[in-house]
Structure 1
Amino acid sequence: MVQVFIPSQLTSYTEGVSRLEAAGDSIARVLDDLDARFPGLKFRVVDEQDRIRRHMRIFRNGDRAQDLALAVGDHDEVLIFGALSGG
C-alpha cells in the first residue's frame, strides 16, 4: 500500500484523516482508490482533463509528480498539498 498525506484543506473529504493508505500502481490509480472511498476528493486534485490542478502539488518520495501516470510502489509516500498563492 502507498502512504498518502492529505492536506488540511482536503481532510473534510477524508473524515478528518490526513494520513491514509491507498492501493494503486500509479498516482492516478491511487487517487481513484481514494476517490472510491472518499467521493469528491479526486476532483479537488485533478481537473476535467485528468491533469493535476494548477493550484495543487503532488510529490512521490519527495520528487514532484508532473504526470498522473507516474508509477508508485508499495512502500512509496505520496504527498498532496495545495500551492500557496497571494499578493
Structure 2
Amino acid sequence: VQLDDGTPDGRQVCAGIRAWYTPEEMVGKRVIIIANLEPRTIRGEISQGMILAASDIKEVGENGDPVERDVIVLTTDRPTPAGSPVS
C-alpha cells in the first residue's frame, strides 16, 4: 500500500488486509500507522511501517484459536493532516 504520510515521497507499507479491503476501499482512507520501524522486506517488497487494525473474532476453534475474524483498519473520526502524530 502506498501511503501519503506527509513526507515528499510518501511511504510504502505491506499489510495483510487484502482479504478484508479492496484497493479501491483504501483510496482516500486515513489510516493509523506505526512509522518508526526499520524497513523490512516482505514478499519481495520493502515495508516502511505498519497499518494498525483491530480484529473482531467471529468464531473460536476448539483449541481457542480464532477460526474466523474480521479485520478493521484503524482510522480517525475527523479529518487530520497526513503525518499527524498519534498521542
Q: Tell me which interval the TM-score lies in, with the shorter structure as reference length.
A: under 0.3
- TM-score relative to the length of structure 2: 0.27
- TM-score relative to the length of structure 1: 0.27
Point out the structure with max Rg over C-alpha.
Answer: 2
User: Highest relative contact order (Cα 8 Å, sep 6+), 1 or 2?
Assistant: 1
Question: Structure 1 or 2: larger strand share?
Answer: 2
